[in-house]
Amino acid sequence: MRQFIKTKTFRIAAVVALLLGLYAIAGFVLAPKLARNALLTDIPKTLVGVTPTVGDIHINPFLLQVEVKDFYLTGTQGTKLVGLPGCSLTLKFLRSGIALIPSRISTSIRLSRTPSSSRTGA
C-alpha cells in the first residue's frame, strides 16, 4: 500500500480529486451566495427605486445550470413590477460561442400606470 501512495499516478489522482472537490464546493455553495449578493446589491444601484427579492438559487457547476426561484422586482409603492416564480438557465457551448438557454421560465408581469400630477385632462 505504501508503494502505491508514493507513485506518480496516485499523486496526480489525489490532486485531481482535490481540485474537483474544491470546484464542487465553490459551485454548489459559494456561487449561489455570490449570485444572490450580486442581484440584491447591483439591481438597486442600476434601477433606482426598484427593490429585488430572490428566493432560492441553485447552481449545478457540473451540468452548468442555474435555477432561480421567486425572483421579483418591486417598485417604490410596493407593487410587483416583474416576477419570475421559477427560472432555469443552462449554459451551452455552441460553434458560434457560449449561450445561456432558458430551460424553464415562468413569469408574471404587472404593468401599472401611475397618475401624473403635471398631466391635465383634455
Summarize pLDDT for 25-53 with one digit per residue, the tens. 999 999 999 999 999 999 999 988 899 99
The set of cell numbers assigned to 83 is 416576477
> What's the mean pLDDT in 95-111?
65
Please, what is the Cα angle at 113 between 105 and 72, to 5 degrees? 30
Q: Is the confidence at residue 58, as pLDDT, over 80?
A: yes
Q: Report how far Cα 119 is from the mean position of its chain's Cα atoms.
A: 40
* In contact, 106 and 86? CB cutoff 8 Å: yes
pLDDT band at residue 105 under the 50/70/90 scheme: low
**Residue-averaged pLDDT of the chain:** 82
Identify any residues that bridge with 67 across adjacent strands, giving them in sequence order: 58, 88
Residue 118 predicted with pLDDT over 70: no
The pLDDT assigned to 113 comes to: 53
Residue type, 6: K
The predicted model scores a pTM of 0.70
Three cell numbers written together for 81: 413590477
